[in-house]
Amino acid sequence: MTTCDFLKLARGAALGIAASLFIVVSAQAQNDPLPSWNDTAPKTAIVSFVEKVTKENSPDFVPEPERIAVFDNDGTLWVEHPMYTQLAFALDRVKAEAPSHPEWKDTQPFKAVLEGDMKTLAASGEKGLMEIMMAAHAGMTSDEFQKIVSDWLATARDPKFKKPYTELVYQPMLELLDYLRANGFKTFIVSGGGIEFMRPWTEQVYGVPPEQVVGSSIKTQFEMRDGTPSLFRLPQINFIDDKAGKPVGINEHIGRRPIAAFGNSDGDLEMLQWTTMTGGSVRFGMLIHHTDAEREYAYDRDTEFGRLDKALDAAALNQWTVVDMKADWKQVFPEK
């Protein structure tokens, strides 16, 4: 054997080893649709549920059109602390619009927003909050609002992570959405957040198209303006898609009962009840418990946003799966 032959052989062998390694790794990745989940109970529960309902001729089989899964958004698919992203948006909008509203300088709760006085803002209560939300969300067409949201998201940054909000989504949940869809599920968002605040970006970020987003809404009005049809956003609440509103929103938009529901707070309690308490057929309920102060946040019963109290008790009673973020998630956010 010449040196040259030997080198060729060695290179060939090395390439062969590299190729086999590659095959092993990619086969593992293929076999594991949830690589950011540790091999703990929640992952096992999800996979077991999906295998049950997709196995034909099994008593638990669910036909594809009925494989409806619903996901809360704030705190379930993306970060909700230190305040709901939509509130950060509203505060920024008030600041941006202030030049056109000189009266805001002397009128609460706008004055508090402009002065960054969160204490006074908080003291203005639900009524004050609603005034801020309406000022930020109404008074334009739906097309204009969509652009405002997209423009804001392109530049706004989360105060703790210094990243765009759309990057502060949970990698394990992105994998879960994909995994369910790969198994014939239709995935819906059912959020207390504004339906038109979410739709401009959910398709790109979560793979959930606008028609599969359910949320809170204000009233809109159809008008022909100078021969052009438009939908004008009015400063009146139309629907609050939270708590007991979630099953109502699900019924109104989807028209069938989901077989799986994912949430993280008491606002999701009724959605999980409606999904799972059907007596008989296999259903899946899951709560994300924020236990990871290091990588994200740790909060539950005593928090202001995303309180998880009654729903945590109900989870024990109803055998809903509770994700311990710190223990069950290998990775929290997507790598850029």
Cα separation, 187 vs 189, whole angstroms: 7
**301-332 as b/e, with b when 16 or more CB fall inside 10 Å?**
eebebbbbeebbebbeeeebbbbbbbebbeeb
Min dist. Cβ of residue 59 to a second copy (A): 22
- Minimum CB distance to a second copy, residue 224 (Å): 7
CB 323 within 8 A of CB 286: yes
Stretch that binds a second copy, among 74-82, 93-101, 170-178, 207-215 (CB under 8 A): 207-215
Indicate which single residue of 41, 45, 88, 231 sits in contact with a second copy (rule: CB under 8 A): 231
Q: How many residues does the chain have?
A: 336
CA–CA distance, 187 with 69 (Å, rounded to integer): 5
Report the 10 Å Cβ neighbour count for 264: 28
Site for a second copy (CB under 8 A): which residue of 30, 126, 228, 294? 228
Closest separation between CB of residue 53 and a second copy, Å? 18
Is residue 281 within 8 Å of residue 66, measured between CB atoms? no
Nearer to a second copy, 53 or 271 (CB): 271
Is 273 an interacting residue with respect to a second copy (CB under 8 A)? yes
Residue with Cβ nearer a second copy (111 or 243): 243
Contact criterion met (CB below 8 Å) for 177 and 203: no
Is residue 277 a contact residue for a second copy (CB under 8 A)?
yes
Residues 248-267 that bind a second copy (CB under 8 A): 248, 251-256
Tell me how far apart the alpha carbons of residues 188 and 181 are, in angstroms, rounded to a whole number. Answer: 11
Report the site for a second copy in 134-163 (rule: CB under 8 A).
Answer: 142
Count residues binding a second copy (CB under 8 A). 39
- Does 274 sit near a second copy (CB under 8 A)? yes
- x/- track of binding to a second copy for residues 45-64 (CB under 8 A): --------------------
Question: Taking CB under 8 A as the rule, does residue 224 contact a second copy?
Answer: yes
Rounded to the nearest 10°, the torsion over CA 46, 47, 52, 55 is 140
- Taking the complex as a whole, the smallest distance from the CB of residue 166 to a second copy amounts, in Å, to 18
Q: Which residues here bind a second copy, judged by CB under 8 A?
A: 65, 68, 142, 186, 195-196, 199, 203, 209-213, 217, 220-222, 224, 227-229, 231, 238, 244-248, 251-256, 270, 273-274, 277, 279
